[in-house]
Amino acid sequence: MSVNAAAAQALDDIAKMMDLLGEESFKAIAHSRASRLVGDMGEDVSTLDKKALMAIPGIGAKIADKIIEFCTTGRMREHEELAARVPPGLLALMNVPNLGPKTLRTLWQEGGITDAASLEKAIADGSILTLPRMGAKSVEKIRQSLEFAKTSGERLWLGRAWALAAEIVDRMRAHQGVAKAEAAGSLRRGKETVGDLDVLVCLKKGANAAEVSEWFRASPGVTQVLAAGESKSSVRVALNHDTGRWKLEGKEGEAKAGPSIQVDLRVLPVESWGSGLMYFTGSKEHNIRLRERALAQGMTLNEWGLFPEDDEKTPPQSRGVKPVASATEEEIYATLGLAWTPPEAREDRGELDHKGAWRLVEVGDIKAELHAHTTASDGTMSIEQLASAAKARGFHTIAVTDHSRSSAIANGLDEKRLAAHVKAVHAAKVPGITILAGSEVDILADGRLDYDDEVLAGLDVVVASPHAALSQDSAAATSRLIKAISNPSVHILGHPTGRLLNKRKGLEPDMKALIEAAVAHDVALEINAHWMRLDLRDVHVRLAVEAGCKIAINCDTHEPRDMDNLRFGVMTGRRGWLTPELCINCWEEKKLHAWLKKKRK
Ligand code: DGT
Ligand code: CA
Ligand code: CA
Ligand code: ZN
């Protein structure tokens, strides 16, 4: 399905080149919207005709033509025309953090800078300082960003970023001048990887912004201060290389998590808490939509608040204009005629058209873990320890699903060991929780399962997952996974693509076909909550939810701390607009067990 990715890339390039050329911003915005829509599509975009493309909100006739041109010829004429005008090295510089199109345009048109090498040279010989708006401070920032881009191309896993964000937020809340502090940005939206952390702090009345900013810059682990303003700061914080259970798997490229991540701080007065949080949470695209909506209603929205629109050039907050709303997100959304939108849904994927209040799945709704390993295969806990840990989370059910025989490195069970293990699981008792005996059975490369049908039919829960042959082509992957779904004993398709974020792409099945099969066979698709997996991914969850497909959120528990990953699985579900009704882990005990047993008649 890489035609989707290629078409999305071409559209995104067009948007960026338009920005670099200083063309009207609505054109660039439209192309970057279309790029995201195509990149997130569940089906092969080349199977859609012009009518089907134009039926997608956000894709108009002109862009539909460009997509069709790309699918039929492998080219986009407009892309080539723009590429003839914009140096390729300049386009590449758009990926460097803190380098926006305006700055790059100046560097290019006034200073003849066309790529990273000429930019470095202009910095080294000082000639950059003769260009407009290029002071020593801003040049030093550019130099550091370039340096960073060279050593680290990768975004950080949500799970790794989460722990650091929690530490920093705790530290900020401990300062006596701080009324409220929260991590915003892509982290708050639960995006699977984050580019940098964004922390918002609001001050108590009379507190000193400079002092609070200084406290932030003195956080433990800070290796570099990139910006040190009174109310805006940026630092770089060192990270360790803990990549969980995948530490030793280097085959498909070592994970480059570090050595550091940028953290941005913004300090605002407490009256602007709601508007500041909204601005800083983003996404940028969601913010653009909100501002469009505000303008249509005669208001303007920024991080200081929602203000009545007037013709003045100076921003309203500096003129003492009183905002219509600013203190809470709820009142700002309400003033715009909208329900409070969960951060995970703020991606400009139609959320402003959502009718009524949102009720997405929450961590507190989860009452069962249906994919967990013990010492019988590659887990660290006994059956009782696992069940007690699940009980402590308030779960009513835990399923023991150790690996099947083909997963030799994970000490998978052959049929004889499995039979003994099932007995042990059924004999184990922890008061207040039901322990189910199951298996995480391998889906072999051709779609057959790793145990005979009679063996599978004797298990309480069957999670079927792909572990090997993860680079097979899309068509083979689709029929392989559909074959597994069609097995009457299978309840859950575990980590459907087998991807590892920043490490391997995994399978790329036709998601629409997969979801259709799952609905037809009443199989739940798993969101594996480990932050290295988050598989299904958000946009595919959304497709599944729209099709009424059941979803499981499982921690794939191997050791006690894995259960803390639940929040990442839940956030991924929320990014796909998952409700508790469709998530089998949220069901009450009777309903869940009845559904599991239905496949055993
Ligand atoms: P990331 O860091 O790449 O994972 O993604 P974000 O969404 O955290 O992006 P970031 O850190 O550049 O900015 C944080 C938020 O600040 C962003 O989600 C929305 C807001 N923001 C930043 N730049 C702009 C902008 O140019 N326009 C608008 N409307 N909002 C912006
Ligand atoms: Ca960010
Ligand atoms: Ca940022
Ligand atoms: Zn697995």
The second-level CATH assignment, the architecture, of 282-353 is 2-Layer Sandwich (3.30)
Provide the pLDDT for residue 249.
Answer: 38
DSSP 298-357: TEEEETTEEEE--S-SS-GGGGTPPPSB-S-HHHHHHHTT-PPPPGGG-SSSSGGG--S-
DSSP 386-445: HHHHHHHTT-SEEEEEEEBTT-GGGT-B-HHHHHHHHHHHHH---TT-EEEEEEEEEB-T
Provide the pLDDT for residue 43.
Answer: 82
Other C-beta atoms lying within 10 Å of the C-beta of residue 454: 9
Other C-beta atoms lying within 10 Å of the C-beta of residue 235: 24
Specify the DSSP class assigned to residue 266.
E
Specify the DSSP class assigned to residue 246.
G
Rounded-to-integer distance, Cα 243 and Cα 129, Å = 42
Joined together, the tokens standing for residue 414 give: 């052959």
Compute, in angstroms, the gap from residue 199 CA to the centroid of ligand 3: 9
Query: Taking each helix axis from N to C terminus, what angle separates 538-546 and 511-520, rounded to the nearest 10 degrees?
Result: 50
> Rounded to the nearest 5°, which phi and psi values hold at 474?
-60, -45
Provide the pLDDT for residue 4.
Answer: 87
Q: Name which of 265, 149, 287 is nearest 217 in CA terms.
A: 265
Provide the pLDDT for residue 97.
Answer: 75
CATH topology of domain 156-245+253-268: Beta Polymerase; domain 2 (3.30.460)
Query: Taking each helix axis from N to C terminus, what angle separates 511-520 and 474-486, rounded to the nearest 10 degrees?
Result: 10
H/E stretch holding 260: strand 260-269
Compute, in angstroms, the gap from residue 196 CA to the centroid of ligand 2: 4
Instruction: Specify the amino acid at residue 115.
Output: D
Compute, in angstroms, the gap from residue 578 CA to the centroid of ligand 2: 24
Task: Take atom 9 of ligand 1 and give the residue whose Cα is closest.
Answer: 185
Mean per-residue pLDDT pooled into runs of 10, the chain (601 residues) = 83 94 91 90 89 92 95 92 92 86 93 92 93 90 81 81 95 97 98 96 96 96 92 89 51 44 96 98 96 97 96 92 97 98 97 96 98 95 97 98 90 95 97 98 97 97 96 95 98 97 91 97 98 97 98 96 97 98 98 97 77
Provide the pLDDT for residue 252.
Answer: 32
Rounded-to-integer distance, Cα 386 and Cα 375, Å = 10
Whether the CB-CB separation of 228 and 293 falls below 8 Å is answered with: no
For residue 282 and ligand 1, the question of a CB distance below 6 A is answered with yes
SS3 (DSSP) at 133: coil
Other C-beta atoms lying within 10 Å of the C-beta of residue 218: 11
For residue 371, which ligand has an atom nearest its CA? Answer: 4
For residue 279 and ligand 1, the question of a CB distance below 6 A is answered with yes
Provide the pLDDT for residue 152.
Answer: 61
Provide the pLDDT for residue 255.
Answer: 40
Compute, in angstroms, the gap from residue 404 CA to the centroid of ligand 4: 10
* Protein residues within 5 Å, CB atom, of ion ligand 3: 196, 198, 264
- Domain residue spans in the chain? 3-152, 156-245+253-268, 282-353, 363-598
**Angle, CA of 570, 573 and 574, to the nearest 5°:** 90
Task: Take atom 24 of ligand 1 and give the residue whose Cα is closest.
Answer: 284
Provide the pLDDT for residue 253.
Answer: 34
For residue 19 and ligand 1, the question of a CB distance below 6 A is answered with no
CATH superfamily of 363-598: Metal-dependent hydrolases (3.20.20.140)
Provide the pLDDT for residue 137.
Answer: 87
Q: Domain 3-152, CATH 1.20.1050.10 — does that match? A: no
Residue partners of 32: CB distance under 8 A and separation at least 6: 11, 12, 15, 16, 285
